[in-house]
Chains A and B, each alone.
Chain A
Amino acid sequence: MPIIYKQKVAVLDGNCEVDLAEELDAWLAENPKRQLNLKSLTHAHTAIYQVMIKHGISVSVWPADDQDWHWLKVAIDSKLYDEETNP
Chain B
Amino acid sequence: MSELLDTFIGESRENLESASQELITLQTNGYDAKAVDTIFRDIHTIKGSSDLFDIKPLTRLAHASEDLLDCLRASEIPFSDELGDVLLESFDQISTFFDELEAGTHQLSQWEGVSAELAGRLRNFMNTTDAPSGNEATQPVENAVEAPAGIAAPVAALPETAANWLSSMSDTARLTLFFKSQESTRLHYFHYTPDADCFFRGEDPFNVSLATPGFITHTITRKSHVEGPEDVFLCHLDILLLSSADWDSLSSHFAYYEGQYEHTQISAEQVYQQCAPLISQILNEEEVETLAQALENEGPEQIARICNFVCASTNPDSAVWQFCAGIERLTENPAMLSAFCQCLFATPDTAQTEETPVADDVSEESIAEAAPTQPAESEGLSENALAMLKQQETVLIRLIDGRGNQGALASINLIVSRILNLDIVDRTPEDLLRVIASEGEQNDSQEAPDATDIQAPAVADTEAPVASEQAAAIDDVSASANKPVAEATQAEPAEAKPEPVSETSAKPAERQVPRTLKVNQEKIDYLMDLVGELTVAKNSLPYLARQAEEDGGSRKLSKQIKSHFTIVNRLTEELQSAVLQIRMVPVSHVFQRYPRLVRDLARKLNKKIELEMQGEDTEFDKNLIESLSEPLIHLLRNSIDHGIEAPADRLAAGKNESGCIQLIATPQDDNVVIEIRDDGKGIDPAKIKMLAYQKGVITESQLESINDEEALQLIFAPGFSTSEQVSDLSGRGVGMDAVKTMVTQAGGHIEMQSEVGKGTQFRLVLPQTMSVNRVMMFEVNEQMFGVSMDSVVETVKVRPDEIQQIKNHQVLVIRDKLVPLHDLREYLGFELQTQNVEEQSILVVNTGNGDMGLVIDKFHEGIDVIQKPLEGVMAGYSHFSGTALLGDGRVLLIVNVPELLSCR
Contact = CB atoms under 8 A, between A and B. Distances in A.
Interface string B368-395: 0000000000000000000000000000
A41 interface: no
A45 B219 contact: no
A46 B207 contact: yes
Interface string B221-262: 110000000101101110000000000000000000000000
Contact of A68 (B199, B204, B472, B478): B478
Interface residues on A, range: 20 to 34
B32 interface: no
A18 B206 CA distance: 12
Contact of A79 (B222, B471, B479): B222
B679 interface: no
Contacts of A75: 219-222
Contact of A50 (B236, B476, B479): B236
Nearest to B474: A67
Interface string A28-55: 0000000000000001111101110110
Nearest to B173: A70
A46 B204 contact: yes
Interface in B179-213: 194, 199, 204-207
A54 B222 contact: yes
A71 B475 CA distance: 10
Nearest to B477: A70
Contact of B480 (A22, A45, A50, A71): A71
B199 A47 contact: yes
A68 B232 contact: no
A84 interface: no
A51 B232 contact: yes
Nearest to A78: B221
Given A46-B205, A49-B206, A71 B235 contact: no
A65 B479 contact: yes
B478 A71 contact: yes
Contacts of B480: 67-71
B237 A50 contact: yes
Interface residues on B, range: 20 to 34
A75 B223 CA distance: 11
A22 B237 contact: no
B650 interface: no
Contacts of B222: 50, 53-54, 75, 79
A47 B235 contact: yes
A74 interface: yes
B476 A74 contact: yes
A58 B450 CA distance: 46
B846 interface: no
B479 A70 contact: yes
Nearest to B226: A54
Contacts of A44: 206
Contacts of A45: 199, 204, 206-207
Interface string B457-493: 0000000000000011011101110100000000000
A25 interface: yes
Contacts of A43: 207
A50 B194 CA distance: 12
Contacts of B194: 46
B218 interface: yes
Nearest to B473: A67
Contacts of B217: 71
Q: Which of A47, A49, A72 has the most CB of B within 10 A?
A: A47
Contact of A71 (B199, B204, B207, B220): B220
Contacts of B479: 65, 67-68, 70
Contacts of B219: 71, 74-75
Contacts of B204: 18, 45-46
A83 B734 CA distance: 75
Given A46-B205, A49-B206, A78-B221, A25 B232 contact: yes
A11 interface: no
Contact of B218 (A21, A53, A68, A71): A71
Nearest 10 interchain pairs by C-beta: A67-B479, A70-B478, A68-B480, A46-B206, A21-B232, A25-B232, A46-B205, A68-B479, A75-B220, A46-B204
9 contacts: A25-B232, A46-B237, A49-B220, A50-B236, A53-B221, A67-B472, A70-B476, A71-B219, A71-B478
Given A46-B206, A67-B474, A68-B480, 20 more contacts: A18-B199, A18-B233, A22-B232, A45-B206, A46-B194, A46-B235, A47-B232, A49-B206, A50-B232, A50-B236, A50-B237, A51-B232, A53-B220, A53-B221, A53-B237, A67-B471, A68-B478, A71-B217, A71-B480, A74-B476
Interface of B: 194, 199, 204-207, 217-222, 230, 232-233, 235-237, 471-472, 474-476, 478-480, 482
